[in-house]
Amino acid sequence: MGFAAKSRNLFAVIGIGLGVSLGACSDEEEAQPADQATELPEPPAASASVDMPDCDGYDFATPFLQAYNSAQPYSGSPEGLEIMTTLEAAECQQDRLIAMLTEQRGPRIGFKVGLASKAAQDQFGVPAPIVGQLFDGMMLANGAAISMAAGAVMAYELDLLVRVGSDDISTATTINEVAEYIEEVIPYIEVPDLMIPPGAAFSGALVVAMNVAPRLGVIGDPIPFTATPEWIDALGSMKATMIDNRGVTVEGTGADLGGHPLNMALFLIGEAERRGWEIKKGDLISLGSFGNLQITQRGVQVRALYEGLPGGPVEVGLGFE
C-alpha cells in the first residue's frame, strides 16, 4: 500500500499523535527545573549477526539507530523520503530497527499507536493509525527529571497506557472483549524524539521507519481496571488535561482516541496479527495522544490530570533539565 506523496517541514507542522503545536523553544526562558535529571544507560552496539530483512538493499535503520543512540538528529531523512514511498518499504525499515533495538535492549515491553486521528493521517498521507514497539529503559517513574541530553528533538504529549492482563487479548474483536483482557489503566506522558533537524521534511513513511518515534515516557500510579459498563463508559468520556509552566494547555477526552481508547487497542491487535507481533500478558499499550504534541526545552515542567475515571482524579508529571 502506498503513502500519499506528502511531506512537511518538521518545524512547521507535525502529527505524531493527533498533531503538534510548536512554541518558542529557547533555553533562556525562566522555569523551575526538577531536582535531579534522569541518567540513561548507553545501549550496546548492535552486532552484525542480528537477523534483519534486506529491504531491497536500502538501509535506513542502521544509521538512524546510530544517531538515535547518540541522541543526535538524523541527517539521512532526505534520502529516506525519496526511497521510502510505500507502506511496505517503511515497515521493512521499521522491522530492521526493531530487530536491532531488541538485540540492544532485550524483548519489547509493549506497543504504541500513533497518528490516531483522521486529520493526522490525512496530513501525513497514511490510511490508518500506525504502530510501533516500546523497549526496556523507556519508562520512567512519576516526577522524573529528564536531561535534555537524553534525546535529539524531544517533545511531550498527553497519552494513556493500558496493561494487558492476558495473552488471549489477541482473540478480541470488540472493545468489550478487549476490556476483558485489560488489567490496568495508567496515566502517561510520552516523550517522543522526532530525530529530524530543523528545516528538514517529514513524512508518514519516516514516522513508521522510526518505529513511531519513542524515546521515553513517564507513568503515573496504575489504576486497577475491571471490564464493567461503568469502566468502559468512563474511559470513553474521561477528560485529560496537560499543562506546563510555559502556559501551554492541552485537553482531550477518551473519544479523541478513535472514538474510544480501547478502539486503539483493537486496532493494534489487528496490526500485530498482520505484522507477526505477539501481544502478551504484562505488555503496555500506549493508546495515542489526546491532543497536540509539544516540543520541549530545558526547565519545562509538565503535569497531566485525568478526570472521570472510577476512583477519582489521577495525575502524572515530569520535568526537563
Give the pLDDT confidence of 243-261 residue by residue, as tens digits. 999 999 999 999 999 999 9
Q: Is position 32 within any domain?
A: no
Q: Tell me which DSSP letter residue 16 carries.
A: S
What is the per-residue pLDDT for 199? 82
Sheet holding 37-38, edge to edge: 37-38, 145-146, 314-320, 301-307, 239-244, 249-253
Residue 262 belongs to some domain of the structure: yes
Q: What confidence score (pLDDT) does residue 28 get?
A: 41
73 lies in which domain range? 8-21+58-320
From 229, 218, 228, select the one nearest 189 (Cα to Cα).
218
Cα within 13 Å of Cα(10), Cβ side: 22
Helix, strand, or coil here: 83? helix
Domain-embedded: residue 37: no
DSSP tag of 35: S
| Cell triple for 175 | 472493545
Report the C-alpha gap between 123 and 144 in whole angstroms. Answer: 33
Q: To 10 degrees, what angle do helices 261-275 and 229-237 make?
A: 90
We report the CATH number of the domain holding residue 271 as 3.90.850.10
Q: Are strands 182-192 and 8-9 parallel, antiparallel or unpaired?
A: unpaired
What phi and psi, each to the nearest 5 degrees, are found at residue 227?
Answer: -80, 60
Q: What are phi and psi of 115, to 5 degrees?
A: 50, 55
Residue in this structure with the C-alpha cell 489477541, named with its chain if needed: 170
Within a domain: residue 28? Answer: no
Query: Is there a domain that residue 50 lies in?
Result: no
Q: What is the pLDDT of residues 260-293, one digit of tens each?
A: 999 999 999 999 999 999 999 999 999 999 988 8
Is residue 89 included in any domain, yes or no?
yes
Percentage above 70 pLDDT, the chain: 84
Q: Is 242 helix (H, G, I), strand (E, B) or coil?
A: strand
- Phi, psi for residue 154 in degrees, rounded to 5: -75, 150
What pLDDT does 50 receive? 58
CA–CA dist 215, 134 (Å, integer): 9
For residue 2, is it within any domain? no
pTM of the model: 0.87
Asked if 164 and 282 count as a contact pair (C-beta separation under 8 A), the reply is yes
How many domains in the chain?
A: 1
How many Cβ atoms are within 10 Å of 173's Cβ, its own excluded? 10
Give the integer Cα–Cα distance in Å for 113 and 111. Answer: 7
Q: Which residues of the chain have pLDDT under 70?
A: 1-51
